[in-house]
Amino acid sequence: MPERYGPYTTCYNRFRRWTKAGIWDRIMGAVTAAHDGDIQMIDGTSVRVSHSAATIKKPPGSTYGSKPRRLTTKIHAVTDATGLLIRLAVTASETHDAVPARELLSGL
């Protein structure tokens, strides 16, 4: 965290209080209303591959566990304002989030 925001615990505690108070929901509601519900969001997350999946023989071109100690893959999702899935991409764990973002967001 940048120093100007104070200790990370202060930021975390504020985030949790705002979450419990519904402030983030109100912010997202205001953003959605300002765009007549026509808004898309993109996020990526890493998913660890199970040990059994990491030890089986992989098909050619598979990205699961393709490098030593890299037993994760990334899931990138684009949703609408209500959280409904619009597009999905799966990449190798070391792929930067910006790589699939261009294709996922094109034409929306």
Structure tokens at 28: 């997202």
Of 99 and 55, the one with more pLDDT: 99
Percent helix, strand, coil in the chain, to 5, is: 40, 25, 35
CA distance 9 to 22: 20
DSSP code at position 79: E
Contact 99, 92 (CB under 8 A): no
pLDDT confidence bin for 68, thresholds 50/70/90: low
pTM of this prediction exceeds 0.85: no
pLDDT confidence bin for 98, thresholds 50/70/90: confident
User: Per-residue pLDDT tens for 33-63?
Assistant: 777 666 667 777 877 766 665 555 666 666 5
